[in-house]
Amino acid sequence: MTCNAKLLPLFLLLGLLASCAGTKTTAPYQTVPASSPVVAEAGQAQLKENSTGTAAPVPASPTVARRLVYNATVQLRVPRTDSAQAQVQRLVAREQGYLVQTSEERMQLRVPAERLTLVLAALPRVGKVESQTLSGQDVTDEYTDYQIRLENAQKARQRYLELLARAANVTEAVAVEKELQRLNTETDKLTGHLQRLQHLTNYATLSVTLRPKVQLGPLGYVSVGLYKAVRWLFVWGKAN
């Protein structure tokens, strides 16, 4: 009994400490406003990381329009080459095309690329199509290369014009004018290449070969008649 009386104050003290510990609360969660320097610093860090390409993916470059040069070759069997040439020319002219060159049995024409299939579909009205091929060549890289070289030449020419205006003496002026002449020649050449490729992509090349039908003479018709008669006899004999 005496021992329990001595331990009672100790139990009361422990109970009091436990109740104090149970009533202790933690501070509520606090949000950081968007204008906080911490947020600003984090945003700057994110932008910096994105600029290095380590976090944000690099967007894909837009698709480059391909530049194609089309070439078609057709061989026709016709009754007469002269009248067939006139028919082909009228057909191509109707589709906004034109004749490049012609010989007795060959023609080279240019047709708007988007109308080439219409012309090819109409050629059987001129004669019997014995062969036909269609091919395309991608000149996108070549065209882009000429474009870049032309832009660089034009920029260099502008810089030399500025140097010419500041030339201190005749020697400097002559040297700059010589370089300007070279750049002018290079610019004209590159412009010509670009215009040619542009035209070839807009207009397909159509090559037509005209083969006249074989005209039989009197003996030829007799030979054909004899061949058919003999063939008929053999076929008739087999049938019986």
Q: Give the CA distances from residue 226 to residues 220, 231, 239, 240, in Å, rounded to whole numbers and listed in that order.
A: 10, 8, 20, 21
Q: Is residue 8 part of a domain?
A: no
Q: Is residue 14 part of a domain?
A: no
Strands 68-78 and 128-138: antiparallel
Residues 194 and 207 in one domain: no
Task: Specify the number of domains making up the chain.
Answer: 2
Residue 116 burial (C-beta neighbours within 10 Å; 0-12, 13-18, 19+): buried
Q: What does the pLDDT read at residue 170?
A: 93
Residues 149 and 100 in one domain: no
| Whole-number Å distance between alpha carbons of 101 and 81 | 15
| Whole-number Å distance between alpha carbons of 196 and 229 | 60
Each residue's pLDDT, cut to its tens digit, for the chain (240 residues) gives: 444 444 444 444 445 444 444 444 433 333 333 333 333 333 333 333 334 343 343 343 456 689 999 999 999 999 999 999 999 999 999 999 999 999 989 999 999 999 999 999 999 999 999 999 999 999 999 999 999 999 999 999 999 999 999 989 999 999 999 999 999 999 999 999 999 999 999 999 999 999 999 765 565 555 556 666 656 666 554 444
Q: Is residue 18 part of a domain?
A: no
Residues 104 and 207 in one domain: yes
Q: What does the pLDDT read at residue 40?
A: 35
Residues 150 and 184 in one domain: yes
Residues 103 and 208 in one domain: yes
The three-state secondary structure class of 146 is helix
Q: Is residue 1 part of a domain?
A: no
Q: Is residue 20 part of a domain?
A: no
Sign, CA torsion 51/56/62/64? positive
Residues 74 and 162 in one domain: no
Residues 132 and 164 in one domain: no
| Whole-number Å distance between alpha carbons of 51 and 144 | 28
What CATH number did the domain enclosing 117 receive? Answer: 3.30.70
Whole domain around residue 184: which residue ranges? Answer: 141-201
Residues 187 and 208 in one domain: no
Q: Is residue 103 part of a domain?
A: yes
